[in-house]
Structure 1
Amino acid sequence: MEFWNAPSRRKCGQWSLVIIVVAIGLSSLQAVDAGLGEWRLVTKNAGISAMHAAVAPVLGTVVLLHQTKTGPSNITFPDGRCRNITYDLLLKTVCYVHSVILDPTSEVVRPIMVMTDTQGSSGQFLGEGSLSQTGGDLEGKKRTSNLSTKCYTTVAQRRYCDWVEGGNGTDLLEQRWYFTNQLLPDGRQIIVGGRQTYTLENYPHTLHRQLYIFANRDSILYDYNQNVVVRKFDKIPDNPRNYPSGSSSVMLPLVYNDNFKKVEILVCGGAATGSVGKNEGQMECSTSLMETMPMPRCMGDMVILPNLNVMLINGVKRDYQGWKSGSETILNPVLYNPRKVAGNRFTVLNPTQTPRVYHSTANLLTDGSIMVAGSNTHQYRSFQSMKSNVDFPTELSVKAFMPPYAENKPNSGGRPVIISVNATNVKYRATIESSTGPSPPSPFSPPPMRTVSNPDSFVFTMTSSFWSSHLFSFGQRVVTLNPLNITTQPESRMENGRWVNARTVQLRIPSHYTVLPRTYYMLWVVKNGNPSSSCAWIRIR
């Protein structure tokens, strides 16, 4: 690990910030650990190539979108309807589908109408659970759309249940294409930058809090109420990380143990050097650290898992973002464990057979697996076989990768089951109670290994559902909850179809909306490193 421009060690302020940058050389490849993780095919053909993806609250279906200007998709509306808009700059009438709702368990797809081009747009789930989409390309650069919670189903509707484009007063103040979007604690979105746009705005439009913003090699702490830059952080080394360099970044989990004071930003990959970095610090000081990845990665996605690890997935080893610009695809996901010592934090996992390059997505599903979709490196769609090392075909398939977690390790006890949660709509500072049990035995597999009676370790996490697009996961956040009381009854089990001695825990919701902005979250019980077999949806109000 390499430190650069690190300030002298001194007592810092209340909040801390860490930026970790991980660097990579082509000679540092590691052998694949056999048997780590499992891939499954969700669907061979989702109808569209997903440029954007988001997992819908409660139902767990996935909203997929692609741009409207790249020619025919592979799906049309059952009733033959078309999109007709006079202000479209290229195509006034389009009869192909460019957005769908996908059920990742049944493969069922329901087409939905989207009016304007969403390429380079962003989005967030709002407090009541609806999905807000902002900006885009051409006539869509100032447009906004909303998808109601009623439309997340894949069941055919008597009435159309589509994206609803905003009316008068809902357009953005500036044109936004390839920009950043973050959900604020008060439920609004702050929209920053874009191609040839150097301003920011709140949406909906209403104008003490601070926002960390990273671009290329520079990062700042910005007070969006006072409209001032509070401080500038040191530059990270190596090349710029933004488009077309193609790095990705996440904020590592916020933990209750330090009252959510320490903030760590992990920046991974990018063109040329493919470095990963981590910035940690506080209001008065920061520390930047360098680590080495097992392989270069450009155009990769990063997803934080329920057990607090980070998954790096998708991408290429060489070149950069753009049409036919990336080569040597990376088929192996890589796991990053921030709690291990530097040098031992990365694990190379089992490869996929499907390249995911430019315009790919990655989302956490409700069973703890990661769904990957999309991949289109053409200005228009092309389903022909590769003619060169950068000419990847437009990808319509969707796959899911189940990380190894710890279920196959001795004494882990397998993945627990969330039996019940006493409240699913909660306020800040509230206490909720959850009951959990072990995984039911399967007739097709041996029971989880458990040879000694060491005390179980538990972590309780809440993960947001984010908008995945162009290497970034807008709104991604993971927070641990404070367990006030965990029962120590004998091992829970099922008898005659009912749970006996189910373990219960009381969990404290954080007291402030800067930790958990108002929206929906997935609640997980993590036992000995194994997240529950499925999550419970909790709405923070």
Structure 2
Amino acid sequence: MAAAASASTGLILPSLHVLLLLTSVSLTRAQLPGTWEVLVEDAGIASMHTAVTRFGTVVLLDRTDIGPSRLPLPKGHCRRDPTDRALPVGDCTAHSALLDPATRRLRPLSILTDTWCSSGQFLPDGTLLQSGGDLDGFRKLRTISPCSLDDRSPCDWLELPSPLLAAGRWYATNQILPDGSVVVVGGRAAPSVEFYPPDRPLRPFPFLAAASDPQMDNLYPFVHLLPDGHLFVFANARSVLYDPDSGDVLLEYPVLDGGPRNYPSAGSSAMLPLDPADGYARAEVVVCGGAQYGAFLHRDVDMPAGVTCGRLVATDTDPAWAMEEMPFPRIMGDMVMLPTGEVLIINGAQAGSQGFELASRPCLNPVLYRPNEPDGLRFMTLTPTEISRMYHSTANLLPDGRVLVAGSNPHYFYRFEGEFPTELRVEAFSPEYLSPDKASLRPGIEAAPDKVGYGEGFELEIEVALPVVGVVEANLLSAPFATHSFSQGQRMVRLSVSPPVDVASGGGDGAPYRYRIVCTAPPNGRVAPPGYYMAFAVNQGVPSAARWVQLAL
């Protein structure tokens, strides 16, 4: 039905996509690109917030004050909060966990204050900073210094006694800045910004108040750090260029057509890769999906979601939105940057809005957005999952190139019966570049530095089964904090690379070919803030597994 409606409105799609949409009942999963697997049958918690650490482990985080989870805490680690509405006498179950996707092992973590609809960002040393939430977590800051599950001294959450946030932050967004500090933007009834460390005062941000309306579509604003050091901030259907140093709004962008996009209207956004070919001067932002205005206000779970994406060069002197249409309407979709520079749009629903039990018609098919293809040929429909991922689901890129999908709990408490039950399974989606027929092209990074400085040259040594033809790309991808359909701090930076130089030639004995490429690190923290990045080598569109590299000031 949705495909027919799109066709009637003049949507231009590749003939393959039209065929897929019109004959979807006869398609099998094997006929579409990509594969799915369940990594964990029962993680014990539904991950509302998810982040991948430099150890390759994954922090899963839900909220407290919802009753017991299915993951017990170690003996003696119970949380006791007399104000807890569900378990005032004590909660001995975990609401956070550390997952190793390689071994599928899981370790419970202790979280003490409520992290409902909170925000987060990795600091330059790899520590995950987590901010805000509800109730006793409203003004709290927490950290976890990640570890491997094999570490004898296991890592866990640390609740910081001070400082407290200057304002309560519920539904806020975090972004690391060029100097390694973090800006915390907005939140419910908080049209302001503040910083961590708190060496700058809280600043009013009237734009967020102006972007609000009765259904609160200024929450979880989309924030992207541009390569000039300014912030692109999007809320509702409006966006501005914001100077985090002075607090000035430098530019107001045109309004994006198609209705509201932020919580609770549940669109998503990504910044496309920054490229040395233009001196890292051009930054392009994509905003996709969202609910129709009124779906949240009227609790209309059947109102069709938006189908449009807007694309804008945020660094242009006269920017304008270019509009495109996705193969499916979608709310609560996660936009995950892949190491190829393509964007995976995954999770969510085709009707309703964000909120408890306010959506219907799960969107099971991921979509690949290929930004360098001609307009009208950019979207590719991928293999569907069999698991509905509705409100409070997440998606994150793993260092091996897969995408980890977790969460989905569209109910106030955990509920394991009825439509769209609380989902404790964790899946991994493997894009087509991981298919067996691409294995001979997939490079492996055999040597890489642990740390590089801005503008420095450094070497990667790679191995591949077949001789390299052309240039091997090297790309840095950040590890964002994914929640509520937006990956806070997500970033991809392409590197300048030299042509590959033979180190060792493969041969008939099955030995791989070995090459050295010289890369140049990003020039400054405006292009790539300090911290740990996944470094990928990409050979003819097929990425390696990543090596973690720290970009240091």
Question: What range is the shorter-chain TM-score in?
Answer: 0.7 to 0.9
Query: Aligned match of 1:162 in 137, 156, 176?
Result: 156
Amino acid at match of 2:159: E
AA partner of residue 61 (structure 1): T
Q: Which residue of 2 aligns with 1:298?
A: 331
**Does the 8 A contact of 2:66 with 2:86 survive in 1?**
no
| 1:336 aligned partner, one-letter code | Y
Per the alignment, residue 469 of structure 1 pairs with 483
Look up the equivalent residue of 2:536 and give its one-letter code: W
Paired residue secondary structure (2:441) = coil
What is the aligned partner in structure 2 of residue 507 from structure 1? Answer: 519
Q: Which residues of 2 match residues 261-280 of structure 1 at below 5 A?
A: 261-272=281-292, 273-280=306-313
Q: For 1:405, what is the secondary structure of its paired residue?
A: helix
> Alpha-carbon deviation of 1:414?
2.3
Q: Note closer, same or farther for the CA distance 1:495–1:145 as it changes in structure 2 (3 Å cut).
A: farther
- Partner SS, residue 257 of structure 1: helix
Q: Which of the numbers 389, 399, 415 marks the counterpart of 2:427? A: 399
CA separation of 1:400/1:358 partners in 2, compared to 1, >3 Å: closer, same or farther?
A: same
Aligned partner letter, 1:529: G
Question: Could you tell me how far apart the structure 1 residues matched to 2:433 and 2:270 are?
Answer: 20
Once residues 283 and 59 of structure 2 are traced to their aligned partners in structure 1, the CA distance between those partners, rounded to angstroms, is: 30
Measured in 1, the distance between the counterparts of 2:445 and 2:491 equals 21
Partner of 1:252: 272
Q: Distance in 2 between matches of 1:407 and 1:181?
A: 35
CA contact (8 A) 1:247 1:274 kept: no
Task: Please state how far the C-alpha of 1:382 moved relative to its aligned partner.
Answer: 0.1
2:249 and 2:98 map into 1 onto residues whose CA distance is 40
Task: Kindly indicate which of the two structures has a greater share of residues assigned to helix.
Answer: 2
C-alpha separation in 2, matches of 1:459 and 1:380:
46
Supply the distance in 2 between the matched residues of 1:287 and 1:120 (Cα, whole angstroms): 32
Residue 117 of structure 1 aligns with an amino acid whose one-letter code is D
* Residues in 1 aligned to 2:436 and 2:321: alpha-carbon distance in whole angstroms: 35
| Structure 1: gaps (5+ residues) | 1-23, 387-391, 440-449
Residue equivalent to 1:309: 342
1:178 corresponds, among 171, 180, 187, to 171
Instruction: Assess, with a 3 A threshold, how the Cα gap between structure 1 residues 426 and 490 changes in structure 2: closer, same or farther.
Output: closer
| Residue in structure 2 matched with residue 240 of structure 1 by the alignment | 260
Aligned to 2:182: 189
**Cα displacement (A) at 1:138:** 1.2
Distance 1:359 1:500, change over 3 A: closer
- C-alpha deviation, 1:156, in angstroms: 7.5
> Which residue of 2 is the match for residue 56 of structure 1?
53
Deviations along 1:55-79, one digit per CA (max 9) or x if unpaired, are 011x201000000111110111232
Alignment partner of 2:283: what SS? Answer: strand
Q: In structure 2, do the counterparts of structure 1 residues 182 and 281 end up closer, same or farther at CA, with 3 Å as the change threshold?
A: closer
**Corresponding residue for residue 133 of structure 1:** 130
CA distance, structure 2, for counterparts of residue 290 and residue 505 of structure 1? 38
* Shift of residue 291, structure 1, vs aligned partner: 0.7
1:153 to 148, 152, 171: 148
CA contact (8 A) 2:444 2:462 kept: yes
State the 1:485 CA deviation. Answer: 4.5
Separation of aligned partners in 2, 1:530 and 1:209: 31
Q: Does 1:341 align with 2:385?
A: no
Give the SS at the match of 2:246. Answer: coil
Q: What is the deviation of 1:162?
A: 1.7
Identity across the alignment (%): 39
Q: CA RMSD in A?
A: 2.3
TM-score, with length taken from structure 2: 0.84
Preserved CA contact (<8 Å) 1:468 1:474: yes
- Cα deviation for residue 282 of structure 1 reads 3.0
The equivalent position to 1:517 in structure 2, one of 516, 529, 539, is 529
Choose the corresponding residue for 2:455, options 402, 424, 429.
429
Structure 2 CA distance for aligned equivalents of residues 142 and 133 of structure 1: 11
Letter in 2 for 1:416: P
The one-letter code sitting in structure 1 at the alignment partner of 2:487 is S
The residue aligned with 2:403 is 370
Tell me if the contact between 1:437 and 1:493 (Cα under 8 Å) persists in the aligned partners.
Answer: no
Give the C-alpha shift of residue 405 in structure 1: 2.2
* Matching residue of 2:446: 419
Q: What's the offset of the Cα at 1:154?
A: 2.4
Aligned residues: 491
Matched, 1:355 2:352: no
Question: C-alpha separation between the residues in 1 aligned to 2:6 and 2:71?
Answer: 42
Aligned amino acid, residue 477 of structure 1: R
Counterparts of residues 192-211 of structure 1 (less than 5 Å): 192-207=185-200, 209-211=229-231
Letter paired with 2:483 = S
1:222 correspondence with 2:214: no
Give the distance between the partners of 1:217 and 1:479, measured in 2 at CA: 27
Question: What does the per-residue CA deviation read over 1:68-93, in whole Å, with 9 as the maximum and x for residues that have no partner?
Answer: 11111011123253012466576542
Q: CA, structure 1 residues 424+489, in 2 after alignment: closer, same or farther (shift >3 Å)?
A: closer
Corresponding position of 1:38: 35
Which one-letter code corresponds to 1:433 in the other structure? Answer: E
- Measure the CA separation in 1 of the matches of 2:185 and 2:315: 23
Q: Determine which structure has greater relative contact order: mean sequence separation of CA pairs < 8 Å that are 6+ residues apart, divided by chain length.
A: 1
Q: 2:354: which partner in 1?
A: 321
Q: Match for residue 540 of structure 2?
A: 528
What is the distance in 2 between the residues matched to 1:196 and 1:521?
Answer: 34
Contact 2:34 2:435 in 1 (8 A): no
Amino acid at match of 1:455: V
Aligned CA distance change for structure 1 residues 55 and 472 (closer, same or farther; 3 Å): same
Report the equivalent of 2:364.
Answer: 331
Deviation at 1:458, TM superposition (A): 2.2
CA distance in 1, matches of 2:470, 2:388: 39
Rounded Cα–Cα distance in structure 1 between residues aligned with 2:123 and 2:281: 25
Cα offsets for 1:422-452 (capped at 9, x unmatched): x21111111111111115xxxxxxxxxx7xx
**Equivalent-residue separation in structure 1 for 2:39 and 2:435 (angstroms):** 22
Q: 1:171 to 1:26 in 2, by over 3 A?
A: farther
Q: CA deviation at 1:413?
A: 4.2
> Aligned partners of 1:531 and 1:72: how far apart in 2?
41
CA distance in 1 between partners of 2:507 and 2:182 (Å): 45
Report the 3-state secondary structure (helix = DSSP H, G, I; strand = E; otherwise coil) of the residue aligned with 1:318.
strand
On the 8 A contact 2:364/2:388 being kept in 1, the answer is: yes
Distance verdict in 2 for CA 1:262–1:406, change over 3 Å: farther
